[in-house]
């Protein structure tokens, strides 16, 4: 069953002067439980695609349907709320809130969702256990390594029980051991809990783990390969 | 993690900057409160001196007297008027006075003088007139002896026991003339008054001006001066306003009040400049805090935080810095204000001499009034909230993708 459907999606920058097509008439769908990589050279439209999927940017043309919702028709407040309840984000540079501990960073999302404290505490501990950071619950991001911070970011992305997680170059700032470790965690979460991951990446290790690889060039899909 | 705790933690990301900003607010609040307290204390003292040395808190006259102070514009001092006034619970002392001009002569010298006929005992209760005596005896209630201000006595060459001749115009044009024995010499701190005033008891003045039972003013001193508004209200509804005018001390001392207003306004301008400088300091902090966290704002909105909530957190951060500075400024200034309110500053030198010449202890209490404490506190918090317009606007105009690439 498709959880994301993209129809004729275009994003044009500098429309009035010299139009640049970051995405040009893309049609694509993602099924629940996918572990998909979007690859391509710099400027091919990977990040733009992820921004569109996450509702962070609006398309110049086309539509994106997530479940039953056409997110391109949502207003700003509705879109923020939709993201809170449906989409998890993992950023290249971790982007944790520096004044919050690992536990608080994870819990923060659930608090915004209005989940009760005892439920929050339980899920936070489950998630930090799942990413192997149960002993760092009270540590602030500044005292965690890059790999540990990115694992907290994964736990934070999972906190809201999203429909899918968007990860923009999640291993770009990690050493190879941390990257390997992070990928194993995400793969395990995908396999065991059927969580959908969509990556944009240049990293061959991520591509190797992915079960589907979508290749973009000049804003168009040039390959869409599923591995069995 | 509540928004309050998050905001509190956020302000301590850069401790030095937060402390510097809070310190500038602290200094502004502290200085503003001390300056205002000193100024208000000084002005209150001046007003108090004026009230105690002559005007009282309220005066009752014949309607139109204050604009045309003649002997014909006087009122009958009778039981019905005193009964009306004495019924009011807040009234402490009432002093009836009859005042008018005359020519004073002794030997070859003649001069225009102000004659003040008064009740010696009541006058002394209000103005402590007897404490200003330098020679001879204070007035009594029945004798015809007068006391003469020092400068006038010197000009006329008068000493105690000498005779003073007074000539003038009495009630309804009757001529007034009389010889009076000088009972004592008094020193009045105001040079114009010291060169002009002759005190006598009320019956003697009424007899001299042929103004039987008449007075030009009834000065009233209150038990609770702060309740003057209520007492004025009671008085104006109790007396016949077509015949009488009821004036409060600020209406009686218009010139002084205008001067004080000008001085208060200049003080306020200085404080406003101080706050403006502090406001720019706070604004600088706000700009830095906003600019260096733009990416973080983008992340927070990406993961699902509504912009209104993010803006509220930023406002809370500034409110915390403002409160930290303002409350610590208040905490530092209040004990000083309270101490010098209960233990006034002892004046020295020329200022002390000036106070002593009024028969007033040379003390300057600092004012401790919630009005200006609250207004200064409010001013700081309003400045803080105004500086929040910038980050709030920035958040609501935030473009998430651009912010994430900062």
* Contact A84/B at CB under 8 A: yes
Q: Are B231 and B104 in a shared domain? A: yes
Q: Are B141 and B161 in contact (CB under 8 A)?
A: no
Q: Are B264 and B236 in a shared domain? A: no
CA distance B7 to B225: 46
Burial class (CB in 10 A: 0-12, 13-18, 19+), B133: middle
Whether B56 maps to a domain, the answer reads no
CB-CB under 8 Å, A57 with B401:
yes
Q: Are B80 and B153 in a shared domain? A: yes
* Contact A81/B at CB under 8 A: yes
Q: Pick from B8, B292, B302 the residue to mutate for testing the A interface (most A CBs within 10 Å).
A: B302
By percentage, how much of chain A surpasses pLDDT 70?
A: 99
CB-CB under 8 Å, A156 with B1:
no
Given a cut of 70, is residue B211 above it in pLDDT? yes
Tens digits of per-residue pLDDT, A198-216?
999 988 888 998 999 999 9
CB-CB under 8 Å, B302 with A54:
yes
CB-CB under 8 Å, A107 with B304:
no
Burial class (CB in 10 A: 0-12, 13-18, 19+), B231: buried
Tens digits of per-residue pLDDT, A95-115?
899 999 999 999 999 999 999
Q: Which chain A residues are closer than 8 Å to B1 by Cβ?
A: 100, 104, 107-108, 111
CA distance B56 to B53: 8
For A156, B128, B293, the CA distances from B405, given in Å and listed in that order, are: 20, 79, 12
Given a cut of 70, is residue A177 above it in pLDDT? yes
Whether B19 maps to a domain, the answer reads yes
Whether B138 maps to a domain, the answer reads yes
Minimum-distance CB partner of A83 among B6, B13, B302: B302
Q: How many CB atoms lie within 10 A of CB B9?
A: 17
What does the mean pLDDT of chain B come to? 90
Q: What is the mean pLDDT of residues B182-187?
A: 94
Instruction: Tell which of B240, B267, B292 closes a domain.
Output: B240
Q: Are B42 and B79 in a shared domain? A: no
CB-CB under 8 Å, B404 with A91:
yes
CA distance B250 to B246: 12
Kindly report which listed range (B1-5, B189-193, B234-238) carries the lowest average pLDDT score.
B189-193
CA distance B24 to chain A (A): 25
Q: Are B183 and B300 in a shared domain? A: no
Per-residue pLDDT band at B405 (split at 50, 70, 90)? confident
Residue with tokens 């317009």: B389
Q: Pick from B304, B313, B316 the residue to mutate for testing the A interface (most A CBs within 10 Å).
A: B304
pLDDT at B303: 92
Q: What is the mean pLDDT of residues B8-34?
A: 93
Q: Are B97 and B215 in a shared domain? A: yes
Whether B245 maps to a domain, the answer reads no
Instruction: Tell which of B182, B213, B240 closes a domain.
Output: B240
pLDDT at B393: 95
User: Does residue B104 come out as left (phi exceeding 0), alpha (psi in the -120 to 50 range) or beta?
Assistant: beta
Instruction: Tell which of B209, B240, B271 closes a domain.
Output: B240
Long-range contacts of B273-277 (CB under 8 A, 24+ apart): B274/B28, B274/B31, B274/B32, B275/B28, B275/B32, B275/B379, B275/B380, B275/B383, B277/B28
Rounded to two decimals, the ipTM of the complex is 0.91
Q: Are B71 and B190 in a shared domain? A: yes
Q: Are B263 and B152 in a shared domain? A: no
* Contact A100/B at CB under 8 A: yes
- Domain containing B310 equals 2-50+256-404
* Contact A51/B at CB under 8 A: yes
Minimum-distance CB partner of B9 among A51, A99, A112: A99
* Contact A91/B at CB under 8 A: yes
H-only helix segments in A26-116: 46-53, 76-86, 102-113
Q: Which chain A residues are closer than 8 Å to B404 by Cβ?
A: 56, 91
Q: Are B124 and B227 in a shared domain? A: yes
Whether B357 maps to a domain, the answer reads yes
pLDDT at A228: 67
Q: Are B171 and B199 in a shared domain? A: yes
Q: Are B99 and B224 in a shared domain? A: yes
Q: What is the mean pLDDT of residues B376-404?
A: 93
Given a cut of 80, is residue B52 above it in pLDDT? no
Kindly report which listed range (B80-84, B170-174, B179-183) carries the lowest average pLDDT score.
B80-84
pLDDT at A40: 92
Domains in chain B, number: 2
Q: Which chain A residues are closer than 8 Å to B309 by Cβ?
A: 112
Q: Are B41 and B79 in a shared domain? A: no
3-state secondary structure of B111: strand
Q: Are A225 and A170 in contact (CB under 8 A)?
A: no
Whether B367 maps to a domain, the answer reads yes
DSSP run (H or E) holding B268: helix B254-291
Q: Which chain B residues are closer than 8 Å to A156 by Cβ?
A: 303
Whether B250 maps to a domain, the answer reads no
Given a cut of 70, is residue B360 above it in pLDDT? no
Whether B157 maps to a domain, the answer reads yes
CB-CB under 8 Å, A54 with B10:
no
CA distance A88 to A79: 13
Residue of B nearest to A159 (CA): B303
């Amino acid at each position: 069953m498709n959880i994301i459907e993209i129809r004729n999606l275009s994003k044009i920058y500098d429309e009035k002067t010299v139009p640049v097509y970051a995405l040009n008439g893309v049609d694509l769908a993602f099924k629940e439980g996918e572990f998909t990589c979007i690859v391509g050279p710099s400027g091919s439209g990977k990040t733009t695609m992820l921004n569109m999927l996450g509702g962070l940017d609006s398309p110049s043309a086309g539509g994106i349907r997530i479940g039953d919702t056409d997110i391109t028709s949502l207003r700003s407040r509705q879109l923020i709320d939709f993201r809170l309840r449906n989409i998890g984000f993992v950023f290249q540079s971790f982007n944790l809130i520096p004044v919050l501990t690992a536990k608080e960073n994870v819990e923060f999302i659930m608090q915004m969702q209005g989940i009760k404290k005892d439920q929050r505490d339980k899920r936070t501990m489950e998630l930090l256990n799942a990413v192997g950071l149960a002993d760092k619950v009270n540590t602030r991001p500044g005292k965690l390594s890059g790999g540990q911070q990115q694992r907290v970011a994964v736990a934070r992305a999972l906190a809201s029980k999203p429909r899918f997680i968007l990860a923009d170059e999640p291993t770009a700032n990690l050493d190879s051991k941390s990257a390997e470790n992070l990928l194993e965690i995400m793969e395990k979460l995908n396999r065991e809990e059927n969580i959908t991951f969509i990556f944009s990446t240049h990293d061959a290790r991520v591509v190797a783990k992915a079960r589907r690889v979508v290749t973009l060039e000049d804003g168009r899909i040039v390959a869409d390969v599923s591995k069995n | 993690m509540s928004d309050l705790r998050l905001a509190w933690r956020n302000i301590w990301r850069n401790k030095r900057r937060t402390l510097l900003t809070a310190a500038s607010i602290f200094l502004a609040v502290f200085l503003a409160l001390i300056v205002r307290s000193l100024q208000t204390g000084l002005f209150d003292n001046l007003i108090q001196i004026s009230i105690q040395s002559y005007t009282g808190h309220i005066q009752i006259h014949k309607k139109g007297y204050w604009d045309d102070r003649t002997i014909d514009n006087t009122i009958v001092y009778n039981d019905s008027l005193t009964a009306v006034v004495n019924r009011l619970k807040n009234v402490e002392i009432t002093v009836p006075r009859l005042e008018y001009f005359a020519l004073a002569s002794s030997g070859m010298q003649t001069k225009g003088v102000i004659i003040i006929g008064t009740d010696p005992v009541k006058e002394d209760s209000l103005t402590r007139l007897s404490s200003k005596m330098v020679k001879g005896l204070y007035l009594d209630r029945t004798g015809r002896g007068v006391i003469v201000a020092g400068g006038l006595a010197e000009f006329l060459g008068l000493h105690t026991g000498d005779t003073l001749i007074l000539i003038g115009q009495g009630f309804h044009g009757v001529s007034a003339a009389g010889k009076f024995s000088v009972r004592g010499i008094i020193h009045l701190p105001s040079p114009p008054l010291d060169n002009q005033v002759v005190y006598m008891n009320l019956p003697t003045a009424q007899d001299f001006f042929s103004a039987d039972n008449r007075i030009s003013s009834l000065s009233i001193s209150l038990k609770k001066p702060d309740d003057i508004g209520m007492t004025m209200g009671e008085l104006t509804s109790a007396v016949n306003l077509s015949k009488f005018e009821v004036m409060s001390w600020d209406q009686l001392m218009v010139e002084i009040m205008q001067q004080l207003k000008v001085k208060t306004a200049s003080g306020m301008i200085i404080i406003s400049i101080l706050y403006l400088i502090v406001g720019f300091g706070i604004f600088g902090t706000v700009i830095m805090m906003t600019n260096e966290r733009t990416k973080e704002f983008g992340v927070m909105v990406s993961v699902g935080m509504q912009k209104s909530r993010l803006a509220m957190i930023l406002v809370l951060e500034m409110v915390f810095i403002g409160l930290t500075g303002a409350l610590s400024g208040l905490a530092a200034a209040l004990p000083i204000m309270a101490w010098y309110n209960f233990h006034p500053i002892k004046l020295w030198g020329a200022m002390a001499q000036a106070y002593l010449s009024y028969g007033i202890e040379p003390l300057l209490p600092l004012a401790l009034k919630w009005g200006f404490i609250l207004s200064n506190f409010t001013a700081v918090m309003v400045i803080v909230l105004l500086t929040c317009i910038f980050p709030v606007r920035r958040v609501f105009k935030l473009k998430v993708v651009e912010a994430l690439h900062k």
